């Protein structure tokens, strides 16, 4: 890796989930985290994590969108989750407390307005040693189930929430997500109107097709898709169809490229496919990037939303990615594909930063 890596903005990292649900001390080295859990078998990715704060700094991932996430599930649901929205809210507050503790240690810095964004960028671009800098994060809620009622939007905005995806997997309280289908209903439409009042970014990620189109019809504020790939390359309802991509382009959205193996290549079979037996590498992201850039006619709407350690590790990541720092290797892949230095800068960080500058005017 170059001694001066390019700045990376990663638009989707479940850092607090890893800290609390996976019990990972993300201030430690990746080797130490893997070693400490190498004997555990409760989750498929034990001992195979790719993300920690030192590796983010080594890879110059100086900015990210960091999540809160807690699903509410009704009786009989096959999905894991909390049994009441209030419990889900409490889980998100524990995650918030972890981010605050990281700020107290100087490990992270919350960014919630243009001034803070500019100041943080200035520090990371000043030539200071990245190993001493806090990782900046914009707080996002993945799935709105923990919003007990609409008054909780104001509470969340006041503690720094700036983006919200109404659904995750399955049917949610406010919208339908991946592997389900249905509309928003009255509660979902009311949620979007309240989000608009606070200028929260609508994250279209995980919305099923019906909820996607209803949401974009109702919501007039800023929209992005933090971690999504293309359905034409990898056919599945989790991916964006071309007409959805075109609508997002019309809305000025940026779409973050995710590095979860099953999303990158068609035909992945959980429990059978591996990065090795499929030949999966970082370069497999290129058909997704190329397709969006071709539809847009430029490189202004693609970014990185890696989703690394989003409940998977090396067993479900490109085989040439050992840690999040290896996202830097995308530069050479893009260059060989004919992307210019300006294009690469756009994709690595500038597109999402420009989006935030516009959204936070």
Provide the pLDDT confidence category of residue 199 given band limits of 50, 70 and 90. Answer: very high
H or E element at residue 14: none
Q: Check pLDDT > 70 for residue 1.
A: no
Dump pLDDT digits (tens) for 82-121: 999 999 999 999 999 999 999 999 999 999 999 999 999 9
The pLDDT of 180-195, averaged and rounded, is 97
User: Structural domain boundaries of the chain?
Assistant: 9-359
- pLDDT at position 147 is 98
The pLDDT of 251-258, averaged and rounded, is 98
Distance CA 137, CA 134 (A): 9
Average pLDDT, the chain: 97
Residue 331, CA distances (Å) to 207, 284, 326, 327 in order? 30, 14, 10, 8
Residue 189, CA distances (Å) to 144, 199, 214, 220 in order? 12, 15, 8, 12
Asked which of 130-134, 192-196, 335-339 is least confident by mean pLDDT, the reply is 130-134
The pLDDT of 34-39, averaged and rounded, is 97
Dump pLDDT digits (tens) for 149-182: 999 999 999 999 999 999 999 999 999 999 999 9
H or E element at residue 300: none
In CATH terms, is domain 9-359 a member of 3.40.50.2030? no
Dump pLDDT digits (tens) for 283-325: 999 999 999 999 999 999 999 999 999 999 999 999 999 999 9
- pLDDT at position 127 is 80
Residue 335, CA distances (Å) to 68, 230, 330 in order? 35, 21, 8
Provide the pLDDT confidence category of residue 52 given band limits of 50, 70 and 90. Answer: very high
Q: Check pLDDT > 50 for residue 2.
A: no
pTM (two decimals): 0.97
Provide the pLDDT confidence category of residue 3 given band limits of 50, 70 and 90. Answer: low
Provide the pLDDT confidence category of residue 226 given band limits of 50, 70 and 90. Answer: very high
- pLDDT at position 128 is 81
């Amino acid at each position: 890796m170059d001694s001066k890596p390019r700045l990376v903005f990663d638009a989707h990292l479940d850092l607090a989930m890893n800290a609390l649900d996976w019990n990972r001390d993300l201030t430690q080295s990746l080797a130490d985290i893997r070693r400490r859990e190498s004997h555990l078998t409760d989750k498929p990715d034990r001992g195979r994590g790719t993300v920690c704060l030192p590796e983010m700094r080594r890879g110059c991932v100086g900015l990210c969108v960091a999540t809160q996430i807690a699903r509410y599930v009704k009786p009989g649901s096959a999905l894991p989750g909390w049994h009441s929205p209030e419990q889900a809210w409490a889980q998100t507050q524990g995650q918030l407390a972890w981010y605050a503790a990281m700020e107290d240690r100087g490990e992270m810095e919350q960014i919630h307005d243009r001034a803070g964004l500019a100041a943080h960028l200035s520090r990371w671009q000043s030539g200071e040693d990245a190993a001493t800098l806090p990782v900046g994060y914009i707080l996002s809620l993945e799935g709105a189930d923990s919003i007990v009622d609409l008054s909780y939007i104001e509470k969340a905005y006041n503690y720094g929430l700036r983006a919200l995806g109404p659904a995750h997997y399955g049917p949610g309280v406010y919208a339908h997500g991946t592997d389900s289908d249905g509309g928003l209903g009255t509660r979902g439409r009311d949620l979007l109107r309240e989000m608009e009042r606070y200028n929260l970014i609508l994250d279209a990620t995980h919305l099923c097709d019906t909820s996607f189109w209803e949401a974009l019809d109702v919501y007039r504020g800023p929209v992005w898709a933090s971690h999504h790939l293309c359905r034409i390359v990898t056919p599945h309802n989790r991916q964006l169809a071309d007409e959805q991509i075109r609508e997002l382009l019309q809305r000025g959205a940026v779409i973050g490229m995710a590095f979860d193996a099953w999303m990158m290549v068609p035909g992945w079979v959980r429990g059978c496919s591996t990065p090795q037996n499929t030949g999966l590498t970082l370069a497999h992201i290129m058909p997704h990037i190329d397709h969006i850039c071709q539809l847009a006619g430029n490189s202004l709407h693609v970014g990185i939303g890696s989703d690394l350690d989003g409940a998977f590790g090396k067993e479900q990541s490109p085989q040439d990615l050992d840690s999040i720092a290896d996202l830097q290797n995308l530069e050479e892949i893009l260059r060989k594909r004919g992307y210019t230095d300006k294009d690469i800068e756009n994709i690595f960080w500038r597109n999402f930063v420009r989006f935030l500058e516009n959204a936070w005017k």
